[in-house]
Structure 1
């Protein structure tokens, strides 16, 4: 069964970027430390990355994050979604207006202009088609940014939440949680490593 799975790295004080993020500095000042685990040689970090990207039937991201990953300093053959760990899932971008051109034209991009619920629905269709073609269950993965995942949680769209809690305090930046209705979580797994604590929760429907 395809599930909607939000997956993001976060600091101890709740930020998913450092201060002053932008197209040329997507993770903000000091924000690179949030993703040290993804480049770690630790066997548990590698397993978490492999399992996380391996379940991806389609990936949802917001426009600001798209502009970072598709920008000149963004993804390439060495750095990208899962890089060597995963094939090429469909990518669905929530945006007010599609870009005029895409640098990463070899990836499968869909731009949805009618809001996050429609983007998640489009991604679910792609993930279910990939599941049928591959003969195994694949999920929709919401990779960010923080505002996109926060909005999805607030709208009740997320079924599973994975946080990669980095041992860093950034002080400011882009917060993951900015208020909204209380949300109950059921803890499913905790994987501690030297670079992060990987936490997975089922999100209880209101």
Structure 2
């Protein structure tokens, strides 16, 4: 599984005071400037990331943001403007009563992150068979979900989009847990981010 997330130089994946109406917190939108950039390398990173996604795992807090009134629409969101929309698997203690983004493929898993990853792997296998190409499970966040997946040894590849901003506070990506050795696979630098890919040992 690939964990893919944008992060500030001081290690935050949101700014201060994130919530359903302001999912990235104060100043947190600067973390994702690269995703809307016209830079050819930024566009390539976004395109390749979307193209490899057979299924996407996310936590409930992040789902509430993207499905909220100020969340994704036909022009914004995972894979917007790119080819295809993957299945989404949400880790939650209880499924929502309704979904605003009914045109997306949502599965809600209440039995924990490992089972959600297993469900996503099955969906990615089906998508791979249908498309004739090898597709991955991508964990898009939020920060606590990525951290839990790393601690549980579920992450094979860590893809960080390091934004040139210091937020000072917010939701930290790393909050302790078991040490993990990383092996650098690639580095791509643009004016809006340094895209880092590591194999997780």
TM-score of the pair, normalised by structure 2? 0.99
Q: Report what 2:178 is aligned to.
A: 181
1:42-61 pair list within 5 angstroms: 42-61=39-58
Contiguous gaps of at least 5 residues in structure 1: none
> Residue 13 of structure 2: SS of its match in structure 1?
strand
Equivalent of 2:37 in 40, 47, 57 = 40
Q: Report what 1:136 is aligned to.
A: 133
Question: Is 2:25–2:170's contact at 8 Å kept on the other side of the alignment?
Answer: yes
- Residue 11 (structure 2) pairs with residue 14 (structure 1): yes
Post-superposition CA distance 1:69-89 (Å, at most 9, x none): 000000001111020113111
CA RMSD of aligned residues (A): 0.4
Q: Report what 1:123 is aligned to.
A: 120
- Residue 180 (structure 2) pairs with residue 154 (structure 1): no
Mapped to 2, the partners of 1:80 and 1:177 lie a distance apart of: 24
Q: Report what 2:188 is aligned to.
A: 191
Could you tell me how far 1:189 is from its partner in structure 2?
A: 0.1
Q: Report what 1:63 is aligned to.
A: 60
- Residue 23 (structure 2) pairs with residue 26 (structure 1): yes
Mapped to 2, the partners of 1:38 and 1:191 lie a distance apart of: 14
Could you tell me how far 1:184 is from its partner in structure 2?
A: 0.4
Mapped to 2, the partners of 1:73 and 1:176 lie a distance apart of: 23
Mapped to 2, the partners of 1:8 and 1:141 lie a distance apart of: 10
TM-score of the pair, normalised by structure 1? 0.97
Post-superposition CA distance 1:45-85 (Å, at most 9, x none): 00000001110000000000000000000000111102011
> Residue 198 of structure 1: SS of its match in structure 2?
strand
